[in-house]
Chain A
Amino acid sequence: EAQVTQNPRYLITVTGKKLTVTCSQNMNHEYMSWYRQDPGLGLRQIYYSMNVEVTDKGDVPEGYKVSRKEKRNFPLILESPSPNQTSLYFCASRKGLGDFETQYFGPGTRLLVL
């Protein structure tokens, strides 16, 4: 079954404690991205990756890092989380840059930073 998986699904942490949210896809997609969803703001893209070792900033990259060492994985790293990073995070993948019809979203990770 084609899918994007994220772990953990729920996370409560404290300010400054580094954390990683993993994302994995099994469709051999080249393009992967991270979004955050906040009430009244819709989804905003944090980072994206067009292929292995190719990453770039989205609209709201501050406070986040990513890496793409393997095609299937695209972890989101918060080096020093702050309360304003409390949000619902979605990972997404699609076949290529313009292949929106192939885009899959993960189930989401709800993060609370105290």
Chain B
Amino acid sequence: AQSVTQPDIHITVSEGASLELRCNYSYGATPYLFWYVQSPGQGLQLLLKYFSGDTLVQGIKGFEAEFKRSQSSFNLRKPSVHWSDAAEYFCAVGGSGGSYIPTFGRGTSLIVHP
């Protein structure tokens, strides 16, 4: 069975500081991996995805993520955080082996201090 672990419930950073949100997954085959962002009162927006190829994936809003098969990780990074990045971030895993039902992590809440 596929699963996703986001070990950090909350992350607090200062505006302008770098950010890394952790995501570990469990999946029996080559995974599809996603990061979504949910702003307060909003639905989810896809930040980036990994299906195959280059393990460093660029997304929207200046985010990137790196797929590391040996560590079963897909951590999200941003070099300089803006106050508008404060939101809930969800990592998800899915794949072609099943019915494409993605499994979501519990989410990490990002707090940005001025």
Residues of A within 8 A of B (CB): 4, 40-45, 48, 56, 58-59, 90, 92, 97-98, 100-101, 103-108
30 sample A-B contacts, Cβ–Cβ < 8 Å, listed by A number: A40-B9, A40-B106, A41-B106, A42-B90, A42-B104, A42-B105, A42-B106, A42-B107, A43-B90, A43-B104, A45-B101, A48-B101, A56-B99, A59-B103, A90-B43, A92-B43, A97-B99, A98-B100, A100-B32, A100-B46, A100-B100, A101-B49, A105-B43, A105-B44, A105-B45, A106-B43, A107-B41, A107-B42, A107-B43, A108-B42
A90 x B44 contact (CB < 8 A): yes
Asked whether B94 is an interface residue with its Cβ less than 8 Å from the other chain, the reply is yes
Q: Which of A4, A59, A104, A106 contacts B101 (CB 8 A)?
A: A59
Residues of B within 8 A of A (CB): 4, 9, 32, 34, 41-46, 49, 90, 92, 94, 96, 99-107
Q: A101–B49 Cα gap in the complex (Å)?
A: 8
Closest to B100 in A: A97
A44 x B49 contact (CB < 8 A): no
Which residues from chain A contact B100 at a C-beta distance below 8 Å?
A: 97-98, 100
